Amino acid sequence: MAQVGASVPAAPKKVSSLSKRKVQMTLFVVLALGPSYCGYLLFTLYPNIMSAYYSLLEWNGITDPKFVWFDNYVYLFQDPYVWRALGHNLLLMATVPLLTIIPSIFLAYLINVKGYAESNFYKVIYFLPNVLAVIVIALMWSFIYDGSNGMLNAILNLLGIDNNDFYWLGSKRTALWALLPPLIWAGVGFYVVIFMNAMKSIPHSLYEAAILDGATHMTRLRKITIPLISPIVRISTLFLVLGVFKGFEIMLIMTNGGPAGSTEVIGLYMFNMAFGKSSHNYGYASAIGMFLFVVLVVAKLLIDRFSPKDHAEF
Amino acid sequence: MDTNKRTFIDIVWRFIMLLCALSVIFPLLWIVLESLKTNKEFFANVWALPEKPMFENYKKAWESYHLGSTLLNTLYYVGTSLVLGTFLTALSAYTLTRLQFRGRNFIWGSIMLSLFLPGINALVPQYVLMRDLNLTNSLTGLIILDSFGESVFFLMLLGGFMQSLPKEMEESAYIDGASLFQVFMRIILPLSTPGIVTVAIFKFLGLYNAFLGPFIYLSDSSKYTIGVAMYHANQIMQYKADWVTLFAGVTIAMIPTVVIYVIFQRQIAEGATLGGLKG
């Protein structure tokens, strides 16, 4: 693009100072942007491209890779463990966003509109799990679920329910469900803050008119608040769905997929294929990764389609 | 809103809010409380208060999990990545939002591309790359991985902030003969402090809480960061049943982020809204 200044005839001295500035500018851009942009190309873009190539290999990371075309993908679609893991993902994707978003809207409304004296203090408390490390959250919930010494069984005992030191993460029947509370616990406060701030931008006059018409809180929430923050609710839901789809750290720490694969999710399956103790199947893990990539890109395109267009862009 | 009358139903709502707050606080307090008991007290009754607080548990956790050197590792990893990464982000944000140069749009576009990359599929090639560069099992390797390379969220946050700064101060500095670097250091950085602080807080939380990266890349226990150390401590605990020490370790791991949260509570809540839905 031509600089505006270049087309204007200028005195020779000024031209030389202009080109001097241009040299300085180029040098600055290279030095300032160079390291992190090269880092981005090397550590982010390059591995993402390479994973497509790796997915066509049979490779354990040590011996010579063997090019096998689409064998990994053929195997992937026949691998029952992949489908089992995806099933668990689907269950979590259907429940976690719902059970996170609905309480968040409710709490945000209570904090914002009701304005109790203690509300702001609660807001701070609700957000607290979001600053905790995943290891802290996961270990804490493992302790809660422990059979003989866990908090959950102790609470049930107080309520008069004795379940013989039932180990919640050790049973195929309960382990996956036991992962829901930590996932929700860790996320609700974040969305309370998001929705609170969205609700703050709703003009008071709308509520006042509704109050004059005698609308109850329930009606106001349903007819004014939720419709007006619905774009944010929609993206939040989609982001949670994506997060649940690719997340696996909680499962890695709390159960590592067990017992008998009942908490295996697709990300964890891929991770264990590549880095697990018994298997170093880089090619197959990459194929699963590519499969995830395609699903996530489609989901992201959907998000862009549904997201509000008022974001600042530059 | 003061137009609301306080009715019976308000008591119900307030009770629900209190219950939610308790469900957050109670398990955390439970961990702290148990960390002050003896194992015997813990096995006897989960609810009883400790007879006398066992601060020895913390000493034991500190020694048996090597938390001293682990926290030094964490400090080196988090501190260096934080300073280096924030400085590089500020440089990139300034260059990309306030300077006009050829190829700017191309570079910006290629960075925005990463919004489409879920990252999870790059795990294996990234590991192979790090191995080939001899950067595995090295805290410095992790620092390089985490500091170099643009993060779109922070670039957008800081870039947006820098765009709102007035142009006049820069221009008068150029007339006085200042170089671009001087303008950046003396004018842009000080004026962007609020944005930089927000980025730094989020980088701190992200780095300190990072688990997967350190877990994959660090294999020597002498190089563990706190998250990986606590993971392995928990694995070993299954054979030792030394609960109270593990509780003490988890409490220690919890402290730094809680302190940061208490100090920067407002910036964190605001920053979450700014960047949360762009991720």
Do A126 and B279 make contact, defined as CB atoms within 8 angstroms? no
User: Which segment of A196-205, A302-311, B33-42, B222-231 scores lowest on mean pLDDT?
Assistant: A302-311
B153 neighbors A311 (Cβ within 8 angstroms): no
Strands (E), A34-179: 57-58, 66-67
B137 neighbors B223 (Cβ within 8 angstroms): yes
Tell me the percentage of chain B whose pLDDT exceeds 90. Answer: 67
Which pLDDT does position B33 carry in this prediction?
94
Task: Tell me the C-alpha distance between A71 and A58, whole Å.
Answer: 9
CA dihedral in degrees (B37, B41, B43, B46; nearest 10)?
Answer: -70
For B64-109, the pLDDT digits (tens) are 999 999 999 999 999 999 999 999 999 999 999 999 888 999 999 9
A104 neighbors A188 (Cβ within 8 angstroms): yes
Do A208 and B3 make contact, defined as CB atoms within 8 angstroms? yes
Amino acid (1-letter code) at residue B160 = G
Strands A57-58 and A66-67, sheet pairing = antiparallel
CA B231 to each of CA A268, B4, B249, B272: distance values in angstroms, whole numbers, following the listed order: 16, 49, 11, 27
**Mean of pLDDT values over B221-248:** 91
Torsions phi, psi for A149 (to 5 deg): -120, 5
* Contacts (Cβ under 8 Å, ≥6 apart) of B154: B89, B93, B199, B202, B203, B275
Q: Which of A24, A113, A207 sits opposite B180 (nearest CB)?
A: A24
Cβ-based neighbour number of residue B164 at 10 Å: 11
Reported as type and span, the H/E element at residue A58 is strand A57-58
Task: Tell me the C-alpha distance between B217 and B123, whole Å.
Answer: 11
Do A127 and B3 make contact, defined as CB atoms within 8 angstroms? no
Q: What angle do helix axes B67-98 and A12-40 make, rounded to 10 degrees?
A: 140
Cβ-based neighbour number of residue B20 at 10 Å: 20
- How would residue B5 be classed by pLDDT, with cut points 50, 70 and 90? low
CA distance B92 to chain A (A): 5
CA distance B70 to chain A (A): 15
Q: Could you tell me the two tokens for A246? A: 């690719």
Judged by DSSP in three states, A66 sits in strand
Task: Tell me the C-alpha distance between A194 and B150, whole Å.
Answer: 25
CA distance B62 to chain A (A): 16
Eight-class DSSP state of B57? H
Task: Tell me the C-alpha distance between A97 and A99, whole Å.
Answer: 6
For B132-170, the pLDDT digits (tens) are 999 999 999 999 999 998 888 899 999 989 988 888 888
Task: Tell me the C-alpha distance between A43 and B125, whole Å.
Answer: 9
Q: Which residue has the tokens 């493992």?
A: A142
Beta bridge partners of A66: A58
Which pLDDT does position A5 carry in this prediction?
43
Of B272, B10, B276, the residue nearest A110 (C-alpha)? B10
Which pLDDT does position B52 carry in this prediction?
86
Cβ-Cβ contacts under 8 Å, A194 against chain B: 272-273, 276-277
Of A198, A192, A195, the residue nearest A125 (C-alpha)? A192
CA distance A135 to chain B (A): 6
CA distance A299 to chain B (A): 10
Task: Tell me the C-alpha distance between B137 and B216, whole Å.
Answer: 9
Task: Tell me the C-alpha distance between A217 and A109, whole Å.
Answer: 10
A284 neighbors B242 (Cβ within 8 angstroms): no
User: Which segment of A249-263, B27-41, B260-274 scores lowest on mean pLDDT?
Assistant: B260-274
Amino acid (1-letter code) at residue B131 = R
Question: A residues 69-128 near B, CB within 8 Å?
Answer: 103, 107, 110-111, 113-116, 118-119, 121-128
Torsions phi, psi for A197 (to 5 deg): -70, -35
Model ipTM over 0.90: yes
Which pLDDT does position B275 carry in this prediction?
57
Cis amide linkage into residue A259, ω under 30° from 0: yes
A46 touches chain B (CB under 8 A): yes
Do B184 and A32 make contact, defined as CB atoms within 8 angstroms? yes
Q: Which of A47, A61, A311 sits opposite B126 (nearest CB)?
A: A47
Which of B5, B12, B17, B26 to mutate to probe the A interface, most A CBs <10 Å?
B17
Which pLDDT does position B10 carry in this prediction?
86
Which pLDDT does position B4 carry in this prediction?
53
Task: Tell me the C-alpha distance between A185 and A136, whole Å.
Answer: 13
Judged by DSSP in three states, A67 sits in strand
B94 neighbors B165 (Cβ within 8 angstroms): no
Task: Tell me the C-alpha distance between A53 and A70, whole Å.
Answer: 11
A193 touches chain B (CB under 8 A): yes
Mean pLDDT over all residues of chain B?
90
Reported as type and span, the H/E element at residue A178 is helix A175-178
The whole-model pTM stands at 0.90
Instruction: Considering only residues B215 and A312, tell me which one the structure prediction assigns the higher pLDDT.
Output: B215
- Which portions of chain A are predicted below pLDDT 50? 1-12, 310-314
Task: Tell me the C-alpha distance between A133 and A186, whole Å.
Answer: 10
Q: Could you tell me the two tokens for A216? A: 């109850």
Cβ-Cβ contacts under 8 Å, A300 against chain B: 115-116
Torsions phi, psi for B185 (to 5 deg): -70, -40
Beta bridge partners of A57: A67
- How would residue B270 be classed by pLDDT, with cut points 50, 70 and 90? confident
Task: Tell me the C-alpha distance between A292 and B13, whole Å.
Answer: 41
Judged by DSSP in three states, A57 sits in strand
Task: Tell me the C-alpha distance between A98 and A244, whole Å.
Answer: 12
Which pLDDT does position B23 carry in this prediction?
96
